[in-house]
Amino acid sequence: MSRPVSVSRRSFLVGSTALAALGLAGCAAPGAGGGTTHLRFYEQKQEVIAYFDTLLRQFERERPGISVVHDSTNVIAPQFVRGAPADVGCFNDNLELARYIKRGVLSDMSDLPSARTVRTDIRSLTDQYATYPGRTSVLPYSLAAAGVIYNKKIFADHHLPVPETWSQFVDVCKELKKAGITPIYATDKDTWTLWQGLFDYAVGSLVDTGRFFRRMKELGTDVGPDSEVSFEKTLAVPMERAKTISTYFNPDHAVRSYADGNLAFGKGQVGMYLQGPWALGQIALVDKRLSVGTFPLPVSEDPADRKARVNIDLGLYIPTATAHREEARELVEFLMRPSVIDAYNQDNLAYSTRKGAPAQQDERVAGLQPFVDRAAFYQGAGTFMPNSIPLGNYLQSATRSGNFDGMLRQLDADWRRLAGRDALV
């Protein structure tokens, strides 16, 4: 999962200028520059820019007739607005990318050999956001799985089991609190951490998020307390769980940031942390020897209900507007090569989307492997929410006031408003 990026008007203009310049390079004729074809590769995850740059240089060595410019600007929209998208994109599969899938501006990749290597249960996740008839518009590249990060030493010292049911989880929180240890470190100052963790985890194992939001879109302006599904009705029990969980937060959670959470957990000051693998690198900077594990949050009394929160952290696509379709497809095939895709995911604490991929070896996230193996996972409910609904701010208020019921009614009202404007993806 990529953290939201705040883009100022100045940085937007600078980025747009850079995109225009790169677009000229990307549109160079195949015969220009001594017969070299120039491709533009867009990848938005800032933390893996160097990793992908190394891969692109390897591709160039294997394919001497192609030169690749690595575009890592923060925003995707100007590329399509200006009619100059990168030849190959590597982007977080979310509602933003869904807009381009739905509009049919991403080409079909179903005939690529690598498309047949992607796990069907993972590929179906992208269809939960949007589809275009007859096309495989995105090839899932990296599956990030998230859950409850826990301090193994603290659990061992206090003889605490990894909880498999809701009551066991509450008991663990009580024991930690009794021992004077903060059970769960929360960072409300950065609102994305609330919806990614508290909201998504509480909902995911109790509600089929893909089916729920599909029905919510169908109901549109009819969503309400008496409709078949609604936030107020369907998420009532999950938000009761969330309310209970929030009582075990650090007292100063309202003013603590994501960086504060990583630091506190890295110092061994707390038992659990509702975060994903992206936090583990920052925690290791504090104490690389800290013994850490991850488990899915149990929110029912049936251990079989446990699921991991996942997102397609990166997906590959080729815009229909590319002037170098065949060369772009060559680059995609290179990146989907087993030795390349598997190594990337191992190195970045994620899971390969390829059938038969090796298990994740890092003990910090290996606890989620069995759930990924049997597709016991869900896409976070927060990822289905339009950006115009300030879910994070609502959660801030709910965790401070305890009024989660009011938050759900507000979400229903916002959903009806957007449906009335035909503003739902």
Angle at Cα 49 formed by Cα 45 and Cα 52, nearest 5°? 110
- The yes-or-no verdict on residue 46 having pLDDT over 90 is no
The per-residue pLDDT for 209 is: 97
- How many other β-carbons are positioned within 10 Å of the β-carbon of residue 81? 11
- The yes-or-no verdict on residue 15 having pLDDT over 90 is no
Average pLDDT of the segment spanning 315-343: 98
Average pLDDT of the segment spanning 249-274: 98
Amino acid of residue 162: V
Q: 323 exposed, middle or buried (CB, 10 Å; 0-12, 13-18, 19+)?
A: middle
The lowest-confidence range among 12-26, 91-105, 389-403 is 12-26
The per-residue pLDDT for 34 is: 54
**pLDDT tens, position by position, 57-102:** 999 999 999 999 998 877 889 999 999 999 999 999 999 999 999 9
- Split at pLDDT 50, 70, 90, the class of 24 is very low
Q: Per CATH, the architecture of 9-144+310-366 is what?
A: 3-Layer(aba) Sandwich (3.40)
- pTM summary value: 0.89
Q: Who contacts 243 (Cβ-Cβ below 8 Å, separation ≥6)?
A: 398, 402, 404
Strand ranges (E), 227-269: none
Angle at Cα 395 formed by Cα 351 and Cα 222, nearest 5°? 95
Q: Do domains 9-144+310-366 and 145-309+380-420 have the same CATH topology?
A: yes
Angle at Cα 70 formed by Cα 66 and Cα 72, nearest 5°? 160
The per-residue pLDDT for 425 is: 77
Task: Answer for the pair 415, 216: CB distance below 8 angstroms, yes or no.
Answer: yes
Q: Who contacts 222 (Cβ-Cβ below 8 Å, separation ≥6)?
A: none
Q: What is the 3-state secondary structure (H, E, C) of 365-402?
A: CHHHHHHHHCCCEEECHHHHCCCCCCHHHHHHHHHHHC
C-alpha to C-alpha distance for 397 and 93, rounded to whole angstroms: 28
Rg of the chain in Å (alpha carbons):
22
Strand ranges (E), 17-137: 37-43, 66-71, 88-91
**pLDDT tens, position by position, 27-43:** 433 434 458 999 999 99
The token duo for 46 is 């800032």
Where are the chain's structural domains? 9-144+310-366, 145-309+380-420
Average pLDDT of the segment spanning 141-145: 98
Q: Which CATH number fits domain 145-309+380-420: 3.40.50.1220, 3.40.190.10, 1.10.540.10, 2.60.40.420?
A: 3.40.190.10
C-alpha to C-alpha distance for 250 and 256, rounded to whole angstroms: 9
Dump the DSSP string for 133-194: TT----EEEEEEEEEEEEEHHHHHHTT-----SHHHHHHHHHHHHHTT-EEEE--TTSHHHI
- How many other β-carbons are positioned within 10 Å of the β-carbon of residue 370? 13
For the chain, give the percent of residues with pLDDT over 90: 87
**pLDDT tens, position by position, 150-174:** 999 999 999 999 999 999 999 999 9
Mean pLDDT in the chain?
Answer: 92
* Residue 358 DSSP one-character state: P
